[in-house]
A and B are shown apart, each in its own frame.
Chain A
Amino acid sequence: MTDSAVADTRRLNSKPQDLTDAYGPPSNFLEIDVHEPQIVGVGRNRYTTYGVRMRTNLPIFKLKDSCVRRRYSDFEWLKNELERDSKIVVPPLPGKALKRQLPFRGDEGLFDENFIEQRRVGLEQFINRIAGHPLAQNERCLHMFLQDESIDRNYIPGKV
């Protein structure tokens, strides 16, 4: 090798990019909306459900477009399953708001509009962070949460 006074810093050769790759849709499309809160039930047995809509082109998900309804405790279930079975650090959920369940509050408690909106935003951030994690995508519980009509709490945990 010659001792050149100036180093050769020219770029290494590389394959030209295919134009369909360059301008086509990216392979990492994944969007999850948590929206349309609805209050279900009557009186003291009311609870809120949220629409969880997923659109993706990742091959690991069976459906490219899915919509299910989930409540806060379903998100809690998912968090616990992932913490137990997967190696990932699961992000936090928005708060449990136990105080809001006590009687004699000045506002609507759990069904206060602002509170539901805050919680919706937190749940949306939570599910998007998890669903994009390559390790979480291997867990059966995540797929069931996102794409099955209802969650079977007696399911057999495992990898897809």
Chain B
Amino acid sequence: MSFFGFGQSADIDIVLNDAETRKKAEHKSEDGRKDKYFLFYDGETVSGKVNVTLKYPGKRLEHNGIKIEFVGQIELYYDRGNHHEFVSLVKDLARPGEITQSQTFDFEFTHVEKPYESYTGQNVKLRYFLRATVSRRLNDISKELDIVVHTLSTYPELNSSIKMEVGIEDCLHIEFEYNKSKYHLKDVIVGKIYFLLVRIKIRHMEIDIIKRETTGTGPNVYHENDTIAKYEIMDGAPVRGESIPIRLFLAGYEMTPTMRDINKKFSVRYYLNLVLIDEEERRYFKQQEITLWRKGDIVRKSMSHQAAISSQRFEGSSHPEKPLPQDSREDDS
């Protein structure tokens, strides 16, 4: 963009060095579209090339410096002007001067800290991106390349079950149990509801998964609740002594890991809501928080070769002689 018709301009292109081998992950954008982005983990190096291609070859391009930045930022939708950057790295690619022909610059951000997972929600967005900028007197030329970051965990040492007796005195007593309090994103919730006292006419029972996104602090806290799943576990009227099983596969639902007080700006938490509905449509419910985490595949690397082959066979791989992929980090199932 320039004021007079034929000023020199340039196109910028950012290309990662491992673009061929690096996995991509799907991520939903603000408008609901799903796009694929390069997937990175905490501590990984981000390296590549910045191609500056002159629009009019032969004509020189004057500039005030060329740089590339790696940015991790949180954007609250009600406060769009303020971006809270929690990671901000810069590499200068060229000092102020001029370019007479299209050029390529190498860059490397070594072992970059990426403490939080990428998140696009109802009221807040956390994203990581590379931004290459050619600074100029009147207007900069810049280009951004978004990446997606996943945070991985391993099986927690302590993962107690959730077991509780709740009810309305003299009307309804139930004991509910969920086998764990921390579930990974492809886990299964196994549980049961045991009826101790039933003096109301129940018509059916369901389990809902509720996602609560909390933004803001102090008096300005805002909770956005979203029911991600409704799963009927019982149809009909139970009586005392009956035990209703729960088996809820989480892989079918779009969820993120639990995010607590990210950079003191927002949280994303998940709750199981057990709902009993009686014949007059009255709803009795009990909400219970669960922790969701993203499972990595890191354990595979420490398995013996034989055990690794067996596990591949078990999962239906048709080529048990193939060596384990070195970069396998996440469950592909």
On chain A, the number of residues with a Cβ less than 8 Å from chain B's Cβ atoms is: 30
Closest to B158 in A: A1
A contact patch SS: loop
Q: Which residue of A lies closest to B161 (CB)?
A: A12
Q: Which residues of B (136-194) have their CB < 8 Å from a CB of A?
A: 155-156, 159, 168, 170-172, 177, 179, 187-188, 190-192, 194
Once the chains bind, are A15 and B198 in contact (CB under 8 Å)?
Answer: no
* B190 x A28 contact (CB < 8 A): no
Residues of A within 8 A of B179 (CB): 12
Interface residues of B (CB under 8 A from A): 155-156, 159, 168, 170-172, 177, 179, 187-188, 190-192, 194, 197-201, 237, 239-243, 245, 247, 278-280, 282, 299, 311, 314-315
A128 to B: closest C-beta gap in Å: 8
Flag if B241 contacts A132 (CB, 8 Å): no
Does B187 lie within 8 Å of A7, measured CB to CB? yes
Query: Is A26 part of the contact surface with B, judged by Cβ < 8 Å?
Result: yes
Contact B245 A12 (CB under 8 A): yes
- A8 at the binding interface (Cβ < 8 Å): yes
Known: A12-B179, A129-B280. Is A17-B243 also a contact (CB below 8 A)? yes
Q: Which residue of B lies closest to A89 (CB)?
A: B282
In the complex, per-residue mask of A1-42: 1 if CB is within 8 Å of any chain B CB, else 0: 101011111111011011001101011101000000000000
Please tell me if A59 contacts chain B, counting CB pairs below 8 Å.
yes
Residues of chain A contacted by B171 (CB below 8 angstroms): 134, 137
- Contact of A64 with B by CB under 8 A: no
- Residue of chain A at shortest CB distance from B240: A21
Could you tell me if A17 and B242 are in contact, using CB atoms closer than 8 angstroms?
A: yes
The one of B156, B190, B279 that contacts A12, using a Cβ cutoff of 8 Å: B190
Task: Say yes or no: B314 contacts A5, CB within 8 Å.
Answer: yes
B241, A1: Cβ atoms closer than 8 Å:
no
Binding site for B on A (CB under 8 A): 1, 3, 5-12, 14-15, 17-18, 21-22, 24, 26-28, 30, 58-60, 128-129, 132-134, 137
A132-B279 CB under 8 A given contacts A9-B247, A10-B190, A21-B241:
yes
Which residue of the partner chain B has the closest CB to A24? Answer: B239
Q: Complex formed: what's the CA distance from A100 to B283 in Å?
A: 38
Whether A59 pairs with B170 at a CB distance below 8 angstroms is yes
Q: Which residue of A lies closest to B243 (CB)?
A: A14
Which of B201, B239, B315 is A22 in contact with, Cβ under 8 Å? B239
**Cα A12 to Cα B188 with chains together (Å):** 13
Hey, which chain A residues are within 8 Å of B200, CB to CB?
Answer: 28, 132, 134
> Which of A12, A17, A137 contacts B191, CB < 8 Å?
A12
